[in-house]
Chains A and B, each alone.
Chain A
């Protein structure tokens, strides 16, 4: 059958040059080729292409392929062996013993199956949630790309870094009003960040050429670190390097430590004029050797642990990130800044909706972490233990100038905008601070009962919450407490009625 279209002809020619055309069609296609110059030309080109590909350069020879491969195979084998705490030949015996033990335990547990079913169902929900929350497997985008030295200096001096050129959003690290540190991300963090340049700094402080080199290195290392410190997993999660507040201090200390006393006085004048939150403290001390300064900042070069925040939960997580390869992609992301900003906006919006999901049981790996959010910003509060602050930064060079500002999520029309409560699990507890802008709206709309409902999920937990609040300045308002008491009374009477009914049925 002769080809009816050009495409069919091409398809048959492709099969023909491979010798895969059925014999019955070979003769026909040869006739077509003979009578059709276009087809003949296409055939010639296809053959030329095939021969070009056949003669394509082969992979270059490399030596020692087997040596490397066998070494890797041996390592793998040893790893597998080392996982076994007994000789491999006992493996079948261990399997049989293990299986018997499982059956035995299974039989024992069968007798307590009701509890087990509850337990397993709870656990499976948690596992499901953990899987759903494992969002950082998606594409990771750095929130900050192409950080230049001016921005790095700005971060060192003010702890703040604008997210985009329009400067509508920023990241800010600071001391917390409570013990610890906080990282603010969002629109409000942009407030009061003066624009400064390295040029201004140099003309004011007048460092020597050698000092400039050291400061350059400090800014360079800081800049690279900043680029990998906040990662966005599309609009689902944000991973933040928990050492970010430390970075700002170490950078600033490093700059102060390299300067001579007279230069430090000029530096302090510069910081004061710019209203930086830190001042240079030890103006009389001699400069530190550059190696020490560089070493200090290099020790915090790679994040080991990141805080992963999603709209539903937040955890500490050890992320296995190939930061070098990630960094190579940073430049490419610059062009896509609008997408990153949109993703980020989406994420913050989802954070803002979080109070709706706050009733869920959320567990957290490490307790001293709080995330607060409102409609266009959120704050991560890292609480520190007593004395921990000393090792957090080299405080001998810098000192806080201005009083600690209150967390972003607490700024607002009223004095009290956020609301603290604790949720206790079986063996974990965490503090959850919700910005109440939206909850206040809900209270206005639905009356105090809405807040009460929000608060009164679990009477026992509530009691423990009340205990934990002792000594705190902020306590629930009277109206909320009265509402809780009424609810408790109602619940008590309900329990009594149920107990009586049960007793009657038993009799």
Chain B
């Protein structure tokens, strides 16, 4: 917030546009506008966009510089894709869902009020979109005999009956994660895979801190029971 106010202190009421350059290189942002006295003012700011903070970039976006969205996308696409991959463990859906998340973010960014950090806000969009997708899939499975949990559970148990190779361990962990109910799966992914703090998780999931703690404890207990043979070996 501090950075944003410094940069835009003298620029209120001006229009601006990104004229050239990839966000990776030094971008030239030319701002044109009329000062209060009506005098044309041109200011060239030479600064690497990818070094600017999220807040600065968002403020620029809200001022009309749509081009800076690319920097935000490139900064967070890997994390968002990982989050989606951890939830679904299906390479096919990652790109589609991640695109939807960023489209949604782009649409909602003009209304972003800096009440939370950008990435927790983005995570929240990604988590909500993933939940929607899971809900849709659950509806589709509503009338199948086996629930997702049952089948994923069985899958893990079957894989653990023989000594798994190192390459299979990842697969087993992913299947075990899939066997958790959505609310527990989300919390453990956000904590142990994405490394968010408890406070950040509570912001992303929009729940109390106590809820985060208890869900995380339960998620770990469930996962531990599913992965017991593997953990005994690894510990």
A residues touching B (Cβ–Cβ < 8 Å)? 10-11, 14-15, 18, 20, 41, 44-54, 56-60, 62, 65-66, 68-70, 72-73, 76, 139, 141, 325, 329, 332-333, 335-336, 339
B residues in contact with A46, CB < 8 Å? 220, 224
Which of B94, B141, B192, B193 makes the CB contact (< 8 A) with A62?
B94
Query: How near does chain B come to A172, taking the closest CB pair, in angstroms?
Result: 26
**A44→B234 CA distance, assembly (Å):** 9
Q: Which of B145, B213, B223 contacts A15 (CB 8 A)?
A: B213
Q: Could you list 15 examples of A-B contacts with CB < 8 Å?
A: A11-B214, A54-B192, A56-B86, A56-B193, A57-B174, A59-B94, A62-B81, A65-B77, A66-B70, A70-B70, A139-B143, A335-B143, A335-B145, A336-B144, A336-B145
Q: Please, which residues of chain A bring their CB within 8 A of the CB of B195?
A: 54
Q: Given contacts A11-B213, A20-B198, A139-B143, could you give 16 more A-B pairs where the C-beta distance is less than 8 Å?
A: A11-B217, A14-B216, A45-B228, A45-B235, A48-B234, A49-B220, A52-B231, A58-B82, A65-B73, A66-B77, A68-B99, A69-B99, A73-B69, A329-B143, A335-B143, A335-B144
Residues of chain B contacted by A11 (CB below 8 angstroms)? 213-214, 217
Complex: A66 Cα to B103 Cα, angstroms: 11
Interchain nearest-CB distance for B229 vs A (Å): 11
Which A residues lie within 8 Å of B91 (CB)? 59-60
Residue of A nearest to B191 (CB): A18
- The size class of the interface chain B forms with chain A is 35 or more
Interchain CB contact (< 8 A) of A336 among B98, B139, B143, B235: B143
Specify which chain A residues have a CB less than 8 angstroms from the CB of B98 in the assembled complex.
Answer: 65
Give me the 10 closest cross-chain CB pairs, A-B, nearest first.
Answer: A59-B85, A44-B235, A332-B144, A53-B192, A48-B235, A59-B81, A48-B234, A45-B231, A336-B143, A14-B217
Chain B residues proximal to chain A, CB less than 8 Å: 69-70, 73-74, 77-78, 81-82, 84-86, 91, 94-95, 98-99, 102-103, 106-107, 139-145, 169-170, 173-174, 177, 188, 191-193, 195, 198, 213-214, 216-217, 220-221, 223-224, 227-228, 230-232, 234-235
Chain A hits for B235, CB < 8 A: 41, 44-45, 47-48
Question: How far, in angstroms, from A62 to B95 measured CA to CA in the complex?
Answer: 8
Give the chain B neighbours of A336 by CB distance below 8 A. 143-145
Classify the interface of chain B: helix, strand, loop or mixed: helix
B192 to A50, Cβ gap below 8 A?
yes
CA of A332 to CA of B147 in the docked complex: distance in angstroms?
11
Q: CA separation between A45 and B234, bound complex, in Å?
A: 8
State whether B140 touches A329 (Cβ < 8 A): yes
B70 to chain A, nearest CB (A): 6
**Least CB separation from A331: chain B residue:** B144
A59 to B70 Cα, complex, angstroms: 20
Which residues of chain B are near A52, meaning CB under 8 Å?
169, 173, 227, 230-231, 234
Residues from chain B with Cβ under 8 Å of A333 in the complex: 143
> Contact: B198 with A18, CB < 8 Å?
yes
In the bound complex, what is the Cα–Cα distance between A48 and B103 (angstroms)? Answer: 37
Whether the pair B103, A76 counts as a contact (CB closer than 8 A) is yes
Residues of the B chain whose Cβ atoms lie less than 8 Å from the Cβ of A20: 198, 213
Partner pick for B103 among A45, A51, A69, A325, CB 8 A cutoff: A69
Complex Cα–Cα for A20 and B98 (A) = 31
B19 to chain A, nearest CB (A): 17
Tell me the bound Cα distance from A53 to B174 in angstroms.
9
- Set of chain B residues within 8 Å of A60, measured between Cβ atoms: 85, 91, 94
Contacts of A66 in B (CB 8 A): 70, 73-74, 77
Q: Bound state CA distance, A59 and B82, in angstroms? A: 5
Which residue of the partner chain A has the closest CB to B81?
A: A59
Q: How far does the alpha carbon of A250 sit from the alpha carbon of B196 in the complex, in Å?
A: 61
A65, B192: Cβ atoms under 8 Å? no
A-chain residues with CB within 8 Å of residue B221 when the two chains form the complex: 10
